[in-house]
Amino acid sequence: MSSEWHFALQAPWGLPGASAAIAVALAVVVLGVASARRERRRGRRLLLAVLRLGAAGAALVLFLQPAIQIENVTRLPNKIAVLVDGSESMALAERAGEPSRAARAAKLLATSKGEFARWREQHRIDFYTYGATLSPATEEALVGPPGAPPVQDATRLREALAALRTRYQGRDLAGVVVISDGIDTGRLGETFTDGKLDADGTDFLQSLGAPVHTVWTGHGGLRDVAIAHVLADDFAFARTAVTIEAIVRTVGAAEAGWEGKTLPVTLRKDGVVVKTAAVVVDAAHPDQKVTFEFTPDRVGKYLYEVATPLLDGEAIATNNARTFLLKVIRDKIRVLQVAGRPSWDERFLRGLLKHDPNVDLISFFILRTPTDIETVSPDEMSLIPFPTEELFLEQLRSFDVVFLQNFNYAPYGIGIYLDEIKRYVEAGGGLAMLGGDLSFTSGGYARSPVSDVLPVELLDEGPPGSLVSQDAFKPVLTPEGRGHPITALRLEAKENLLRWEALPPLEGTNLVARARPGATVLATHPFQKGRDGRAMPVLTVGDAGKGRVLALTSDSSWRWGFGAAMPAPGSRSSESSGAAMEAGAQGAEAGDGMRGRWYQRFWENAIRWLIRDPELRFLRVETDQPEYGRGEKVRITVRALTSEYRPAAALDVAVSVARVPGAAAPSSGGPIAAKTLLTDENGESVLELDPLPPGGYRVTARALLGKGAAAAAAHHDEEVFLVRGGGRELEEAEARDDLLRAVAEATSGQHRGPAEAWGGLTFLEPEVVRVNKHRDVELWSTWITLLFAALFLSSDWTLRRRWGLA
């Protein structure tokens, strides 16, 4: 409680009456002084003026009835809110060995206990930290021993003040004290241009109704190189050029001695260097743009990183690299078909692919070999030369799938490019080799680089009759083939098997030694045996590096475009068979009717498998979001399907998570998490990880699928995700006080800095909440007041009469 007094007028006249009385009193004084000028003696004139003034004053006191009101009141202390910046930039020190900005703030708070005690005489102090959000804190926590460094990835002062206004709505806020390095990544910082706040920001600050005092914890001298921005789309098209722009920002280059230094800037994909550029450090141009242009050749989700090396004397090591996700999608499936000669097999497949709107087909088939006798000059022919270098060197990686269809490479000088085909497959390409008298060993592929990636082992060179069989046969599905997506003409297993048994027989096959270890045989020959004594593989698939390969040892799969068995060449029905083949080819090209349905289904399945269509995977792993903020948990879901595409329940799935190499982590260092999950009745299981450090990660799932009728086969899937580090907080890490000054000025507050003593800050007084006792002391009704009034009036009248002035 405290006693307070106020001056008041008790007369009932109000402001108009008081104004009129004062005007009359002034007029009386002026007239009295004017009439006294007739008196020659100066002393008498002065005495008359004083008496007239005293008389008018006494009359006003009696008329206005002044009084002193004495009150015994209770005031509720109002609040002072102290906001301490808790963002990541506060953990920085401008130079090595100096205290961080957060340490300066803590020291200031620790040495201000006396100032806080004076504030608490009339106010209460609430402490907060702010960054991306506003959070209550305690004085002890803010001035205590150093703990974890500030980690909030944004500084949003306006949003923090808005939350503060909501918190104190309807309560008495005496003022706000903001302790910060001046970096702001929220609305206030975005609209602060040319050293001024915009009108909206100013109106908001003034709506707080209390002064905002600001204290700056930074100072100049920061030295840093940062990848400030990366401009990239969320997705790109395979085989289409992509442009990535990065802003390299240097601060304090001249002081650090970096002026004129060449700084390499590297673009990496999953830790592998894609391109490198360079910038020359120029203190006059701190922001420099670097452009990378590349063409992604494979569909998928990839982690890209733009990074610069860490220079001596840099204050921040974490902002020299910036990682982002790029999802590469397929516009169309790009297919290269190379055939050794025109044939029904070539024509059917070309017609199927040409009329598929999702396929971009480039088809080459040989009409004239180098050994053909030429009767005219090559310049007079309409045939184009075989573009071997362009196809197999320059453009090969732009294709999703390559078909080598009864094609012998030797006559066309392609042998020098077989290594490139092998590398293409191992890098993720799809390759299908189809049979014929110019294919497999008959085409010279034995012991070639291409044979290293084929899923079958080839026979050594020999007489033509020992490499090809001309007998008709119906391929027999293996247990693996009965559940494989390529051979799934029907979804139901029994119906699918019946459909395969009803297909027309194939005419002839290339002979191969055996399936390569690790390959999957989908169909075998009913009576031909391999070198291992087992049924010879006819349809075999396998992985080679990151790519996939299919080997079909026959060149008569086009017969599957017919719904009934066809007569063999040379039979009595061979003439009508030719007409049927023509009609079948047209049907395959048009894609209509049932005749080409199963042929079309088979090759569509094969292409989807070769390009790793996600919908065909029996095992899939995915995260609930592609990017995570710092401190967020990671949720990983695995889904497993049986060979019949039903949920695979009670299945063990091994899941591991590893760091993707980058500038911050040059090597993955092995899995950081590994666990075996058991799928539920829906074929799903979930793994939840605690928050991970910033960076890129790859999660891999592995399982054995297929039991009983189908032998177990290993399947795996991968997914990448990103944990974001500091956001825009470290893009412009140099401390600045101009925004803090503008905030203080807009709210009639005061600015202090760098982290200097803050004595003399003023705050709004607490409001009175209760009057305990009230007493009026009337100044007009005392005998002294009446005596003086009578004395002044009588003396003025008497002297004027005596001196002849009345």
Dihedral over alpha carbons 417, 422, 426, 431 (to 10 degrees): 100
Q: How would residue 271 be classed by pLDDT, with cut points 50, 70 and 90?
A: confident
Q: What is the rounded distance in angstroms from the CA atom of residue 583 to the CA atom of residue 563?
A: 12
Q: Are 224 and 731 in contact (CB under 8 A)?
A: no
| pLDDT at residue number 370 | 52
Q: For residue 583, what is the enclosing H or E element?
A: helix 574-590
Name the least confident of 141-155, 232-246, 355-369: 141-155
Strands 476-477 and 520-529: antiparallel
How many Å apart are CA 775 and CA 21, to the nearest integer? 27
User: What CA–CA distances, in Å, run from 29 to 33, 143, 620, 793, 794?
Assistant: 6, 66, 102, 12, 15
Q: What is the pLDDT of residues 393-445, one digit of tens each?
A: 888 888 999 999 999 988 887 889 999 999 999 988 999 999 999 999 999 99
Which is it for strands 671-678 and 684-689: parallel, antiparallel or unpaired? unpaired
* pLDDT (0 to 100) of residue 565: 43
Q: How confident is the model at residue 643 (pLDDT cuts 50, 70, 90)?
A: low
pLDDT confidence bin for 710, thresholds 50/70/90: very low
Confidence tier at 163 by pLDDT (50, 70, 90): very high
Q: Which residue has the tokens 């803010």?
A: 142
Q: In sequence order, what are the residues at sequence separation of 6 or more whose Cβ sits closer than 8 angstroms to the Cβ of residue 16?
A: none
Which contiguous run of DSSP H or E holds residue 8?
A: strand 2-9
Contacts for 513 with CB less than 8 Å, ≥ 6 apart: 456, 457, 458, 459, 530, 531, 532
Buried-exposed string 588-610: b where 16+ CB fall within 10 A, e elsewhere: bbeeeeebbbbbbbbbbbbbbbb
Residue 706: predicted pLDDT: 63
- Residue whose token pair is 């569509």: 604
Task: Report the alpha-carbon distance of residue 397 to residue 391 in Å, rounded.
Answer: 9
pLDDT above 50 (res 534): yes
Which range among 31-40, 286-295, 615-624, 771-780 shows the weakest confidence by mean pLDDT?
A: 771-780
pLDDT at 57: 78
pLDDT of residue 374 exceeding 60, the answer is no
What are the start-end ranges of the H helices in 220-304? 253-256
Give the per-residue pLDDT at 58.
79
Structure tokens at 674: 């590994």
Are 171 and 712 spatial neighbours (Cβ–Cβ below 8 Å)?
no
Quote the pLDDT of residue 3.
Answer: 62
Tell whether the model's pLDDT for residue 503 goes beyond 70.
yes
Residue 159 confidence (pLDDT):
93
pLDDT, residue 709, reads: 37
H/E run at residue 305: strand 300-307
Confidence at residue 381, expressed as pLDDT on a 0 to 100 scale: 43
pLDDT of the residue at 93: 85
Average pLDDT over residues 146-169: 83
Whether the CB-CB separation of 758 and 115 falls below 8 Å is answered with yes
Mean pLDDT over 129-153 rounds to 82
Contacts of 674 (CB under 8 A, 6+ apart): 654, 655, 656, 657
For 508, phi and psi rounded to 5 degrees?
90, 160
pLDDT above 80: residue 693: yes
User: Which of 223-232, 479-488, 547-556, 582-591 has the least mean pLDDT?
Assistant: 582-591
Is a pLDDT exceeding 50 seen at residue 164?
Answer: yes
- The two tokens of residue 1 are 């409680």
Among 18-22, 144-148, 282-286, 633-637, which range has the highest average pLDDT? 633-637
pLDDT tens, position by position, 608-629 = 999 988 877 889 999 999 999 8
Report CA Rg, the chain: 46
- Average pLDDT of the chain, as a whole number: 83
Domains, in order of start, for the chain:
2-74+772-802 (no CATH), 77-85+98-211+745-752 (3.40.50), 224-329 (2.60.40.10), 333-568+596-610 (3.40.50.880), 617-722 (2.60.40.1930)
pLDDT confidence of residue 798: 80
**Which of 187, 193, 123, 124 has its CA nearest to residue 161?**
187
- Distance separating alpha carbons of residues 204 and 198, to the nearest angstrom: 10
pLDDT for the residue 54:
79
H or E element in which residue 42 lies: helix 42-64
Can you give the pLDDT at residue 406? 94
User: Structure tokens of 31?
Assistant: 């007239």
CB 245 within 8 A of CB 324: no
Residue 100 has pLDDT above 80, yes or no: yes
pLDDT reading at 272 higher than 50: yes
DSSP 627-683: EE-TT--EEEEEEEB-TTSSB--S-EEEEEEEEPP-SS-SS--SEEEEEEEE--TTS
CA distance 389 to 553: 27
pLDDT band for position 583 (cuts 50, 70, 90): very low
Q: How far apart are CA 696 and CA 268, in angstroms?
A: 12
Confidence of residue 596 (pLDDT cuts 50, 70, 90): low
- Where does the pLDDT of residue 96 fall: very low under 50, low under 70, confident under 90, or very high at 90 and above? confident
Dist. CA 508–CA 530, nearest whole Å: 16
Higher pLDDT, 768 or 4: 4
What pLDDT was estimated at residue 418? Answer: 93
Evaluate whether 771 touches 68 at the Cβ level (below 8 Å): no
Q: Does the CA dihedral 173-179-184-188 come out positive or negative? A: positive
Beta bridge partners of 542: 549
Is the pLDDT at 564 greater than 70? The verdict is no
pLDDT reading at 792 higher than 80: no
The per-residue pLDDT for 220 is 79
Q: Which residue has the higher pLDDT, 549 or 804?
A: 549
Mean pLDDT of 557-582: 52
Mean pLDDT check: name the lowest of 192-201, 508-517, 638-647: 638-647
**Average confidence (pLDDT) over 32-52:** 75
Q: Is the pLDDT of residue 572 over 80?
A: no
pLDDT for 384 equals 54
Is 678 or 10 the better-scoring residue by pLDDT? 678
Report the percentage of the chain scoring pLDDT > 90. Answer: 44
pLDDT bracket for residue 730 (50, 70, 90):
confident
Q: Is the pLDDT higher at 454 or at 70? A: 454
Decide: helix, strand or coil at residue 25. Answer: helix
Give tens-digit pLDDT for 756-780. Answer: 667 788 998 877 555 556 666 676 6
